[in-house]
């Protein structure tokens, strides 16, 4: 029954204008972890540069439902589409995948005068570890440098491959030239998870190597995009992927021995850059070396001057707010005078005032009030008295 169904589909595709030599191609089967995301590249012929492209869901072409289009809508729910007319690739991105998203999909180019052109793929979403996956689908390298991609898979099975999208492939155990770049593949077993890893190293990168590739294991593929830039003083000539925390594992010692000599000992994500141990550093000038210490010294002096100015200002304000001493003794003020009346209680008015001849002498001292407060008499002050003799 299956051969007859396949024959009917081939005839149907032929009648609708789709042949085995269609000008649109993509991967055939990808495996994605639940909650993860996937980027599906769809390569098309140059003659379709200005055509509308779209993604469609369904096993059969005629019965599939359009999800996104490059004209409208470019985004629908968890799915989006973008078109790179320079690389002749449009990509369909799906995020937050769930098992219900497992299905067949199509990459299609719309043609006005004839039937649309496209290619089909299968997406399988699994709650566990995918059968084939990579840490990152987008990598970055520099001209003349190298890049290493780690492809993980659960079983050994058939030999792994590294393929250029729309081009040739290089198999495990073989080293060869791929798109003008030297490629080496090493397959090793991981001790902890008992899985396998395929190390793909591309060295001698050129700008022309920018594009889509994929790891292949059996019927599964995992697309990876590599971008090659011009080197800078801060970029490394070697880039490699880094395993996430959920999939970190130790490789056997054989993996270390089999690692290509072009791989840098530094490991980084694609968004980070590291300096290769062999990179020549440009000597710094004396001004660059002393710039930081001099800057700190200038800042310290400025802080000190501001602090001193604030202290002086605070001191002047405090002295200004203090009330002046207004108690000033006038130079010509009236001296303190004590007036007294002395009465002689014995004898007559004609008697003399000699106390020795007339007996006791009594006096009454009455201080005279002044407008200002009197101070206590001190030694050396003069006391004036009026002495009057009273008749007995």
Of 114-123, 187-196, 322-331, which one has max mean pLDDT? 114-123
Q: Which of 62, 22, 60, 61 is nearest to 42 (CA)?
A: 22
| Residue 201 contacts residue 248 (beta carbons within 8 Å) | no
**Is residue 64 over pLDDT 70?**
yes
| Residue 81 contacts residue 41 (beta carbons within 8 Å) | no
Q: Residues 23-34: what's their mean pLDDT? A: 96
Question: In angstroms, rounded to a whole number, what is the distance separating the alpha carbons of residues 115 and 23?
Answer: 13
pTM as predicted:
0.57
Q: Which of 292-296, 337-341, 345-349 has the lowest mean pLDDT?
A: 345-349
What percent of the chain clears pLDDT 70, i.e. is strictly above it?
A: 61
Please tell me the predicted confidence (pLDDT) of residue 180. Answer: 86
Cis bond upstream, residue 73 (ω within 30): yes
Q: Which of 58, 53, 85 is nearest to 69 (CA)?
A: 53
| Residue 91 contacts residue 53 (beta carbons within 8 Å) | no
Q: What is the pLDDT of residues 123-171, one digit of tens each?
A: 999 999 999 999 999 999 999 999 999 999 987 777 889 999 988 999 8
pLDDT band at 191 (very low <50, low <70, confident <90, very high): confident
Please tell me the predicted confidence (pLDDT) of residue 382. Answer: 58
Q: What pairing do the DSSP bridges indicate for beta strands 146-153 and 238-240?
A: parallel
Question: In angstroms, rounded to a whole number, what is the distance separating the alpha carbons of residues 149 and 179?
Answer: 16
Q: What is the pLDDT of residues 81-134, one digit of tens each?
A: 999 999 999 999 999 999 999 999 999 999 988 899 999 999 999 999 999 999
**Torsion angle of C-alpha atoms 294, 298, 299, 304, degrees rounded to 10:** 140
Q: Which of 1-5, 224-228, 375-379 has the lowest mean pLDDT?
A: 1-5
Question: In angstroms, rounded to a whole number, what is the distance separating the alpha carbons of residues 94 and 385?
Answer: 120
Q: Which of 364, 32, 24, 34 is nearest to 222 (CA)?
A: 32
**Is residue 32 over pLDDT 70?**
yes
Q: Which of 102, 104, 135, 119 is nearest to 13 (CA)?
A: 119
**Is residue 8 over pLDDT 90?**
no
> Tokens in use for 376?
């206590």
Q: Which of 110, 107, 109 is nearest to 41 (CA)?
A: 107
pLDDT band at 361 (very low <50, low <70, confident <90, very high): very low
Q: Which of 190, 184, 222, 187 is nearest to 202 (CA)?
A: 184
Q: Mind spelling out the 3-state secondary structure of the chain?
A: CHHHHHHHHHHHHHHCCCCCCCCEECCCEEEEECCCCEEEEEEECHHHCCCCEEEEECCCCCCCEEEEECCCCCEECCEEEEEECCCCEEEEEECCCCHHHCEEEEEEECCCCCCCEEEEEEEEEECCCCCEEECCCEEEEECCCEEEEEEEECCCCCCCEEEECCCCEEECCCEEEECCEEEEEEEEEECCCCCEEEEEEEECCCHHHCEEEEEEECCEEEEEEEEEECCCCCCCCEEECCCCHHHCCCECHHHHHHCCCCCCCCCECCCCCCCCCCCCCCCCCHHHHHHHHHHHHHHHHHHHHHHHHHHHHHHHHHHHHCCCCCCCCCCCCCCCCEEEEEECCCCCCCCCCCHHHHCCCEEEEEECCCCCCCCCCCCCCCCCCEECCCCC
Q: Mind spelling out the 3-state secondary structure of 270-289?
A: CCCCCCCCCCCCCCCCHHHH
Name residue, tokens 């003794």. 329
**Is residue 244 over pLDDT 60?**
no
pLDDT band at 79 (very low <50, low <70, confident <90, very high): very high
Strand partners, 177: 182
Please tell me the predicted confidence (pLDDT) of residue 150. Answer: 94
């Amino acid at each position: 029954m299956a051969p007859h169904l396949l024959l009917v589909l081939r005839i149907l595709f032929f009648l609708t204008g789709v042949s085995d030599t269609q000008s649109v191609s993509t991967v055939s089967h990808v495996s994605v972890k639940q909650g993860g995301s996937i980027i599906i590249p769809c390569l098309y012929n140059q003659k379709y540069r200005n055509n509308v492209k779209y993604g469609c869901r369904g096993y059969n072409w005629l019965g599939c439902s359009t999800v996104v289009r490059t004209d409208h809508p470019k985004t629908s729910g968890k799915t989006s589409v973008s078109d790179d007319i320079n690389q002749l690739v449009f990509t369909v991105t799906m995020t937050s995948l769930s098992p219900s998203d497992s299905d067949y999909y199509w990459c299609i180019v719309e043609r006005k005068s004839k039937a649309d052109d496209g290619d089909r793929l299968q997406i399988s979403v699994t709650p566990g570890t995918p059968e084939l996956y990579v840490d990152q689908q987008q990598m970055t390298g520099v001209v003349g440098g190298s890049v290493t991609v780690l492809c993980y898979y659960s079983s050994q099975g058939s030999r792994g491959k590294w393929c250029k999208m729309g081009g040739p492939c290089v198999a495990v155990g073989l080293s060869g030239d791929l798109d003008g770049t030297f490629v080496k593949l090493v397959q090793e077993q991981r001790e902890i998870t008992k899985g396998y890893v395929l190390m793909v190293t591309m060295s001698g990168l050129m700008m022309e190597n920018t594009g889509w590739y994929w790891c292949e294991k059996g019927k599964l593929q995992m697309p990876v995009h590599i971008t090659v830039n011009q080197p800078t003083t801060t970029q490394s000539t070697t880039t490699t992927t880094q395993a996430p925390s959920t999939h970190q594992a130790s490789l056997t010692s054989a993996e270390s021995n089999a690692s290509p000599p072009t791989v840098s000992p530094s490991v980084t994500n694609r968004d980070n850059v590291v300096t290769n141990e062999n990179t020549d550093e440009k000597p710094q000038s004396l001004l660059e070396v002393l710039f930081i210490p001099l800057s700190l010294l200038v800042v310290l002096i400025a802080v000190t001057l501001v602090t001193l100015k604030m202290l002086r200002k605070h001191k002047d304000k405090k002295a200004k707010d203090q009330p002046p001493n207004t108690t000033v003794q006038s130079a010509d003020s009236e001296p303190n005078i004590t007036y007294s009346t002395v009465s002689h209680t014995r004898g007559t008015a004609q008697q003399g005032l000699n106390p020795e001849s007339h007996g006791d002498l009594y006096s009454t001292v009455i201080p005279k009030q002044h407008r200002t407060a009197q101070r206590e008499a001190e030694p050396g002050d003069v006391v004036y008295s009026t002495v009057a003799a009273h008749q007995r």
